[in-house]
Structure 1
Amino acid sequence: MGLGFGDIRQLDVTDEASVAAAVAGVVADHGRLDAVINNAGAGHLGTLENETMDDVRQVMGVNFFGVLQVTKAALPHLRASGGRLITVTSVGGVVGQPFNEAYCAAKSAVEGYMESLVPVAAKVGVTVSMVEPGAVATEFVNNIGVDPAAEIAAAGPYADALDAYVTRTVGQFLSFAQTPGQVADAVLEVLTAEQPAFRIQTSAWARAFTATKLADLDGSAVVGLTGGRLD
């Protein structure tokens, strides 16, 4: 949740004062702000019946409202520079996935917000793009801080489905996970492209996965895809 900015204090995207200080510090040091990359995020494993509303609010706080808070603070400076706003979302913002309801809801909210903001921001000279990675080989999953075996044991009527989901996901992870450098290259391309696209997937796997939803007018393809993960 925190990002370092040289000698500027640690950034907490859920803290308005922290965000304001980080943005002001960059502008004070460099005289302008040309680009912002929203990359802070927090994962979550669980399903609604077995979690609290505070759990869901916390996920939304970091992954959705945190993005908005940074974006709001940066927009006046991006308008002044004709800059770029890049938000790293997830394929989970396009295709909702089982036992990731809160996380996918937050990422989906970001996608909808940014999609709505694109033409408005363009009118004042700011380019908006979203980068949609799939699995990335980082500590992101480990940082969720859950014990899958304990979660399955406590899942009650959802235990078999959660066990199937975890087993399948762990087994497939290495077959399509990207390195952090590969995702960083995609972000760099958006930063430097003359006219970057609004929505950018970072791998062939991510493009194929999101295409299932984007071409699925009645929703049956997505439900069939994700439902099969619980069998």
Structure 2
Amino acid sequence: MSATPRTVLITGTSSGIGLAAAVAAARAGWRTVATLRDTSRAGALREAAAEAGVELDIRQLDVTDEASVTAAVDGVIADYGRLDAVVNNAGAGHLGTLENDSMEDIRDVMEVNFFGVLNVSKAALPHLRVGGGRLITVTSVGGVIGQPFNEAYCAAKFAVEGYMESLAPVARTLGVSVSVVEPGAVATEFVNNIGVDIEADLDAGPYTGALRRYIDRTVEQFLDGSAQTPASAAESVMEALHADRPAFRIQTTDWARTFVGTKLADTDGSAVQGLTGAWVA
């Protein structure tokens, strides 16, 4: 009798890293539960699975809705009897600055990118403990270095990294491995994901000049070929799934390792301020 396949649940699989990770996990032999908030947006996911010749179990899961999270996790256990890994990938970008953002805007970013991760992780941990599973969260280099006009987004990613860094040694005492995966620029739909019409919404009052400089620099980074592909970033997720002793913090490119290293060696903050200040000066 063949061994029961290991089961992984991945959030935010409609596009980008989540889609690529779902296909890669299925190709590697995982029973893959690919979740997304709106299953009517699963067309690209289904096409990618068909092209790769793999099967995905596509289910609805809204990370901001505790009832939705509980139903999804309970459904996986009811159907398969096990949950061996979770990849927290669902998230939302946001471009703005404190004086112009509403508090509701900021809370919404935290709800998706921070509390959503905790909702899924909390529901999954009792099942991950059973078999010494893995809890993997896709964060960002923006979870280590704060970046101009990404204040709310980086705050949420900082919070995720701090929470997971604190949880990791506790979870390890019960056999659960905790890792964060930190991509840099990924060639996904940057403009669509930040929720801003760059031309229509560029009036940022006294911040307009700095915002234009930041956007020009960022768009160039996405257009000049330096951004990695989602499939490449998903390889780091696979590393966290398969390594015998996965690192807590995994960067997806050499550039990301160098960028994050700036912060980790910057005891007084001057190196980071000099780096990101040049983006808007």
What TM-score results when the alignment is normalised by the length of structure 2?
0.79
Partner of 1:79: 129
Q: Give yes or no for the alignment of 1:160 onto 2:231.
A: no
- In structure 2, C-alpha distance between the alignment counterparts of 1:141 and 1:113, rounded to whole Å: 28
What is the root-mean-square deviation of aligned Cα atoms in Å?
Answer: 1.4
**Alpha-carbon contact 1:2-1:10 (below 8 Å) kept:** no
Return 203-212 or 173-182, whichever deviates more: 173-182
4+ aligned runs moved over 3 Å, structure 1: 1-9
Secondary structure class of the residue paired with 2:208: helix
What is the aligned length?
230
**Partner SS, residue 32 of structure 1:** coil
Q: 1: distance between equivalents of 2:148 and 2:190? A: 18
Q: Is 1:138 matched with 2:179?
A: no
1:69-91 CA-to-partner distances (Å, cap 9, x unmatched) read 00000000000111000000000
Partner amino acid, structure 2, of 1:163 = R
User: Shift of residue 186 of structure 1?
Assistant: 1.1
Shift of 1:7: 6.0
User: Gapped runs of 5+ residues in structure 1?
Assistant: none
SS in 1 for 2:155: helix
Q: Give 1:169 deviation, angstroms.
A: 1.1
User: Helix, strand or coil for the counterpart of 1:95?
Assistant: coil
The answer to whether the Cα contact below 8 Å between 1:59 and 1:106 also exists between their aligned partners in 2 is: yes
How far the C-alpha of 1:175 sits from its partner, in A, is: 3.8
CA deviations over 1:50-80 (Å, ceiling 9, x no partner): 1100000000000000000000000000001
1:66-118 per-position Cα deviation (integer Å, ceiling 9, x unaligned): 00000000000000111000000000000000000000000000000000001
Deviation of 1:25 after TM superposition, in Å, equals 1.0
Q: Structure 2 unaligned runs (5+)?
A: 1-10, 14-33, 36-55
> Using the alignment, how far apart are the partners of 2:60 and 2:221 within structure 1?
35
- In 1, Cα distance between equivalents of 2:163 and 2:67: 23
Q: Give the letter for the 2:216 counterpart.
A: T
